[in-house]
Amino acid sequence: TPIRLADYAPPAWVAEHVDLTFDLAPRGARVRARIRFVKGPGEAAGGPLRLDGQKLRLLSAAVDGTDALPSITVDEEGLTLAPADNAPLPDAFTWEAEVEIDPEANTELEGLYLSNGVYCTQCEAEGFRKITYFPDRPDVMATYAVRIEAPTSIPVLLSNGEPGATGPLPGDRHFAEWTDPWPKPSYLFALVAGELVAHTDAFTTASGRPVALAIHVRPGDEDRCAYAMDALKRSMRWDETEYGREYDLSVFNIVAVDDFNMGAMENKGLNVFNSKYVLASPETATDRDYELIEGIIAHEYFHNWTGNRITCRDWFQLCLKEGLTVFRDQQFSADMRSEAVQRIDQVKMLRARQFREDAGPLAHPVRPEEFIEINNFYTATVYEKGAELIRMLRLIVGAETYRAALDLYFDRHDGQACTIEDWIAVFEDASGRDLTRFRLWYAQAGTPRVTVSEGWVEDAPGQGGRYTLTLRQETPSTPGQPLKKPVPIPVAFGLLGADGRELIEPGVLELDDTERCWSFELPERPVPSLLRGFSAPVILERRSSEAERAFLLAHDRDPFNRWEAARALALEVMMGAASADAFAEALLPAITDASLDPAFRALLLTLPGEDEIARETWSRGRPADPDAIHAAAKAARKALAEALEPELRGLYEAMETPGPYTPEAGDAGRRALRAAALGLLARLPVGAGMAEAQCGAANMSDRLPALAALLASGSPAADAALDAFAADWRHDPLVMDKWRMLQATASRPDTLARVKALSEAPDFPWKTPNRFRSLVAAFAQNPCAFHQADGSGYRFLADWLIRLDPVNPQTAARVAGAFETWRRYDAKRQKLIRAELSRIAATEGLSRDMAEIVSRMLDA
Ligand code: ARG
Ligand code: ZN
């Protein structure tokens, strides 16, 4: 049964303070809790106390020190403590309970589990209830004191907040205590214990408070932490200068673990990371890995204010912390690297994942109104579209008012669990604007389509005239939301003259109704540059000629729209509506323009992927044919390579990075441009040899794209290069993930057979999410192999999902999203996919996660 936002009720009881004692053991860990409860604010205040609890063995319980309890009933989901005739619940009381849990058996990676011998926790969203009985909801905020007892063979014992006493215990055991002075919801609780080594550093906050920084990793990994540490210090400084936010404890700990369902987790003072987003060395990590590490370290750190100090009232408000924190990490990355390149990458990701979600059966509003399993709502819509809404708010009120609104937010709501209404209210108060209609962005699913029509009336020949621009919006219906209202859409724009100059001061048009019209007196008919910087998450539809696109690619001063013009041209080429030669001609001046950032030029040279073409085909009203798309994409790449061969070779030579590898954005951009050139050249006979030679590169940023290019070239040397790579990296699971992913995403005729063989290898550790994703999820991202006409790709994925679901429902349900695009394809493929979804749905003992995802995909 779904949980509904409309049913929210404040808690009957709130916990004020929590004391926890852990006695760690793999199979029978003991957790003793002492929790101070007081009456809550709601109508039900003082009524029965409901505590969530799952997979707990309750050993003892007491209220105010006596086990003469009020009535207590335990069920699968928790327990209820109700006043009994002889024992009413007092106005405030202390609950004590001891439970036993089994970290070793915990393969779901939620609650307390063991990862490669390291004890760690993941509590967001509802994992704390697998550690002890508790009102496991974010509007219950308490201070915590934690004591961890463990064998001395587990030297490092960490939890949230400030370190306290440590010392030996009888029988080769020891303990450590931690106290967290900042009230927090249970989802921010964390504990880590293991044989770890620390990479340490120090930071002094703007007001002079010293902070001890540490990144804890498994022995042997300590020399791969320097970049993450550097990113952390830059994040801490940036939040001070840009948002006035200082860190608020004397220690900040990060731990890298190998088994993790997501990227990372912002537990107070103790961030836990998927090791993929911490560990990096030039030999093992690509430029993209470094960039992701920087962004995710920043993201989790920024949560300290946007998420932890101010948290969410309930899980429907998830975007309150996630959308805002994504937006903040995007701003940070834009400041650290190239703003234009960052923006283009964000939009590529938004379109590939969020637009895809919004157009399919899993579409939901940025603030959903109901869910069955909250883990299914950590989505591109909540995160990425959530960030876009904040970007729009900032554009609408202006940067200064945005900063004032954020100051007000921190001021007004510090220490609280808040809602989107609270968030919008600070913007209304800071700006004096009525943002009632803007709220619709949070409530309505679906991507608005904006159509453009233009008019030009000449005053007199050669005298200029009146230009009119009409924008119209429409949002297609989404599951459960057949009718949509117009939303306010800020459209950043400029009007260009034939020489490329701006004819008027660039600005923002607010399309705040279904249709709006603007007119301008201009000396000549302009070429409009609309939705600059991708100022709103919409699909802009404007009929445009190849010549006009080439003009914008050459002249627009907005780098995003220059790239957008190139992308539109590339799509036409790949969909067979324009010639590769004309595209090459338009591209040529930009890609060889030495004054342009190489990273930006690399983006111009990177053609849209096959999934994007499938989406585009379907949105133009035709079923997508993955084989035809693949063939067309291949032909387009080859034709472009032929047309640009000398220039691509020139770039390949010119973009060599001298000196030792540094992850710095300038060098990374040169490598990206070089890799883009190589990726195209590999379609020509000359390229295979170049790729093969580069496979011997010492750094992974050069080696991996070379191997990918060699695979794409179809060269017989590819297998030997793959073997050599595996021989070098057999001992390194993170690097072997790349090796597997390359093969799973390769467009070779026997990809499925190869992937099957890899997945059946006895040493394939599929229960570790990174490994599963590197092979099975990566395969499902390979349009041609996954969408084979006989359905064998679909069957392969479904078999694996059925196998993973009982072990790790969260990761299984997430990967199942690969089926969300089924409506794009022909009737035969649709039928095959639906049959696999039905087979999953009929599986006995299916998890709540998977049952919800699959039924939403089938129902739509
Ligand atoms: N809050 C984490 C982050 O965005 C992600 C946690 C994901 N947890 C989950 N149960 N899906 O940084
Ligand atoms: Zn987050």
Mutate to test the pocket of ligand 1, among 109, 124, 814 (most ligand atoms within 8 A of CB): 124
> What is the SS3 string spanning 618-672?
HHCCCCECHHHHHHHHHHHHHHHHHHHHHHHHHHHHHCCCCCCCCCCHHHHHHHH
Contacts of 318 (CB under 8 A, 6+ apart): 125, 312, 367, 374, 377, 378, 382
Which of 268, 266, 309 shows the shortest CA–CA distance to 411?
309
| Residue 125: cis peptide before it, omega within 30 degrees of 0 | yes
Which of 135, 125, 111 shows the shortest CA–CA distance to 10?
135
CA of 378 relative to ligand 1 center, distance in Å:
7
Residue whose Cα lies nearest atom 12 of ligand 1: it is 265
Please tell me whether the overall predicted TM-score, pTM, comes out greater than 0.95 for this model. Answer: yes
The mean pLDDT of 623-644, rounded to a whole number, is 97
Q: 195-234: per-residue pLDDT in tens?
A: 999 999 999 999 999 999 999 999 999 999 999 999 999 9
Confidence of residue 258 (pLDDT cuts 50, 70, 90): very high
Q: Which atom of ligand 1 is nearest to the CA of 110?
A: 10
Q: 343-372: per-residue pLDDT in tens?
A: 999 999 999 999 999 999 999 999 999 999
Q: 81-110: per-residue pLDDT in tens?
A: 988 776 678 889 999 999 999 999 999 999
CA of 324 relative to ligand 2 center, distance in Å:
9
Q: Which atom of ligand 1 is nearest to the CA of 303?
A: 12
* pLDDT value of residue 454: 97
Whether the pLDDT of residue 860 is over 90: the answer is no
Confidence of residue 185 (pLDDT cuts 50, 70, 90): very high
CA dihedral for 811, 816, 817, 818, sign (positive or negative): positive
* pLDDT value of residue 68: 66
Contacts of 380 (CB under 8 A, 6+ apart): 349, 350, 353, 354, 356, 357
φ, ψ at 37 (rounded to 5°): -105, 140
Q: Is 300 a catalytic residue?
A: yes
* pLDDT value of residue 531: 98
Q: Could you tell me if residue 830 is left (phi over 0), alpha (psi between -120 and 50 degrees) or otherwise beta?
A: alpha
Residue whose Cα lies nearest atom 11 of ligand 1: it is 375
Q: Which atom of ligand 1 is nearest to the CA of 125?
A: 10
Torsion of CA 413, 417, 421, 426, to 10 degrees: 10
* pLDDT value of residue 71: 84
Whether the pLDDT of residue 67 is over 80: the answer is no
Residues with C-beta less than 6 Å from any ligand 1 atom: 124-125, 262, 264-266, 299-300, 322, 375, 378
Q: Which ligand is nearest to the CA of 325?
A: 2
* pLDDT value of residue 86: 64
For residues 714-753, one letter each, b for 16 or more C-beta atoms within 10 angstroms of the residue's C-beta and e for the rest, the string is ebeebeebbeebeeebeeebbbbbbbbbbbbbbbbeebbe
Between CA 94 and CA 64 the distance in angstroms is 5
C-alpha distance from residue 332 to each of 127, 328, 339, 409 (Å): 30, 6, 10, 20
Q: 143-159: per-residue pLDDT in tens?
A: 999 999 999 999 999 99
Residue whose Cα lies nearest atom 1 of ligand 1: it is 265
CA of 25 relative to ligand 1 center, distance in Å:
26
Q: 727-742: per-residue pLDDT in tens?
A: 999 999 999 999 999 9
Task: Answer for the pair 48, 37: CB distance below 8 angstroms, yes or no.
Answer: no
Is the ipTM here above 0.90?
A: yes
Between CA 714 and CA 710 the distance in angstroms is 7
Q: Which ligand is nearest to the CA of 185?
A: 1
Q: Which DSSP string do the residues of 670-721 spell out, in sequence order? A: HHHHHHHHHHHHTTSHHHHHHHHHHTT-SSHHHHHHHHHHHHHHT-TTHHHH
Task: Answer for the pair 681, 610: CB distance below 8 angstroms, yes or no.
Answer: no
Between CA 594 and CA 554 the distance in angstroms is 14
Q: 290-318: per-residue pLDDT in tens?
A: 999 999 999 999 999 999 999 999 999 99
Catalytic residue (choose from 110, 300, 612, 645): 300
Whether the pLDDT of residue 410 is over 80: the answer is yes
Between CA 383 and CA 371 the distance in angstroms is 16
Mean pLDDT of the chain: 97
Q: Which ligand is nearest to the CA of 267?
A: 1
* pLDDT value of residue 42: 79
Between CA 811 and CA 578 the distance in angstroms is 41
